[in-house]
């Protein structure tokens, strides 16, 4: 059996990780994109863990302000606009491991570009969470993209474009 994304978290680095090395927890993968890029807030980084032994993440959503997570979703405690001078909306990620919420997630990536420049689409096969993670903070446009395992792919294997269209 392949490995699925089984846990997701947002870590806060209070100093620039280039000047002050950032330590990812053992066994976790760090996505090297500041989720507050261009917004002059806290340095926030998405980390995730993969495993073949734990229940996989099957859904990811963005919650605004005091919005309650849907049934079965766990709200992560870090405001994605933390420390930004222009802070109109508090944003939080929520994840679920419920069967039936979606297929297991096998990969995560963060895509960013400057406001006003051409949008960068998600990589082939990836699904984009539909909310800018920097919304209301006047920074770069930041989007979380995830890859689901497909019914035609072996468990835990990412889909290929041919398998997605099968």
Short-list 116, 114, 112, 118, CA closest to 145: 112
pLDDT of residue 157: 44
Domains and CATH numbers, the chain: 4-164 (2.100.10.50)
Q: How far apart are CA 35 and CA 141, in angstroms?
A: 9
pLDDT of residue 25: 81
Please, are residues 10 and 80 in contact by the beta-carbon 8 Å criterion?
yes
Q: How far apart are CA 158 and CA 66, in angstroms?
A: 34
Q: How far apart are CA 139 and CA 113, in angstroms?
A: 9
pLDDT of residue 27: 86
Phi–psi pair at 7, nearest 5 degrees:
-155, 150
pLDDT along the chain (166 residues), means of 10: 88 68 79 91 92 94 96 96 85 95 95 90 95 91 94 46 35
pLDDT of residue 67: 96
Phi-psi label, residue 29: left if phi above 0, alpha if psi -120 to 50, beta otherwise: beta
pLDDT of residue 19: 53
Helix%, strand%, coil% for the chain, nearest 5: 0, 35, 65
Token readout for 110 is 């963060």
pLDDT of residue 151: 65
DSSP letter string, 131-145? S-TTTTTTS-EEEEE
Q: How far apart are CA 68 and CA 40, in angstroms?
A: 27
Q: Which residue has tokens 């490995």? A: 3
Element (H, E) at 162: helix 161-164
């Amino acid at each position: 059996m392949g490995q699925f994304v089984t846990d997701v978290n947002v870590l806060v680095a209070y100093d620039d990780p280039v000047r002050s090395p950032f330590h990812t927890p053992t066994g976790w993968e760090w996505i090297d994109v500041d989720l507050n890029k261009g917004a002059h807030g806290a340095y926030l980084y998405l980390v995730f863990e993969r495993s073949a032994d734990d229940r996989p993440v099957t859904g990811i959503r963005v919650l605004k302000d005091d919005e309650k997570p849907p049934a079965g979703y766990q709200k992560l405690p870090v405001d994605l606009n933390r420390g930004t001078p222009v802070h109109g909306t508090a944003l939080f990620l929520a994840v679920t491991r419920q069967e039936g919420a979606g297929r297991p997630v096998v990969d995560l990536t963060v895509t960013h570009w400057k406001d006003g420049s051409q949008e960068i689409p998600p990589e082939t096969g990836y699904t984009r969470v539909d909310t800018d993670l920097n919304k209301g903070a006047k920074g770069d446009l930041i989007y979380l993209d995830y890859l689901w395992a497909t019914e035609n792919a072996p468990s835990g294997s990412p889909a290929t474009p041919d398998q997605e269209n099968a």
